[in-house]
Amino acid sequence: MAVAVKGYGIQIFDDTGIKIKTIPFASRCVAFSDSNIWYTDYNSRMVKCTDYNGKNIWEITLPIAGNVYSMTMTVDHNGTIYVSDSYGDKLYTVSGDGTHIKQLLQKSDGLSNPMGIHYNIRKQQLLLITNPSNTAVLYNVV
């Protein structure tokens, strides 16, 4: 498990909750897989990908309306990263290799202030939480 802890960076824990290491990055948002960590950089509109030693693999700047505080993200079973932008009322995907960005949803699609996102790998479903309507929408990802 990996969590972003303000003032400390990304902390990695084993299955029993014992902290294994800290990677000193300023981040609000983090997602992880068996081999990679993706996080938002506080000082830019970037999503960055590193290995578990903190070595940079790739980074990409997103066309978001706000700052990193408006972003949430998750990763699917193929390594595709889903990033929501609550200020811009948009949902993006970033390819697993960090080379392509695609806008999936926007305000005209009914998306309003997306505040949270989670991908269920087992069910291959994307949960998107929006405000102020307090709506949760579940998408099957194919």
pLDDT of residue 132: 64
Residue 130 lies in a domain: no
**Considering the domain boundaries, does residue 31 fall inside one?**
yes
- Number of independent structural domains in the chain: 1
- Residue 19 within any structural domain of the chain: yes
Q: What is the pLDDT of residues 74-106, one digit of tens each?
A: 999 889 999 988 888 899 999 999 999 999 999
What was the pLDDT predicted at 25? 75
* Contact (CB, 8 A) for 36 and 76: no
Give the pLDDT score at 104: 92
- Nearest alpha-carbon partner for 75 in 103, 35, 16, 26: 35
- Could you tell me if residue 90 is inside a domain? yes
What's the predicted TM-score (pTM) here? 0.84
Strand boundaries in 24-55, DSSP class E: 30-32, 37-40, 46-50
Q: Is residue 134 a part of any domain in this protein?
A: no
Q: Return the pLDDT at 66.
A: 62
Taking only the tens place, the pLDDT of each residue in 31-81 is 888 788 888 876 778 889 988 888 999 999 888 766 656 788 899 988 999
Asked if 141 contacts 119 with a C-beta cutoff of 8 angstroms, the reply is yes
* Model pLDDT, residue 125: 94
Q: Is 80 part of any domain? A: yes
Domain CATH for 92: 2.120.10.30
82, amino acid identity: Y
Owning domain of residue 55 = 2-106
Instruction: Say if residues 30 and 52 touch (Cβ distance below 8 Å).
Output: no
Distance CA 138, CA 118 (A): 10
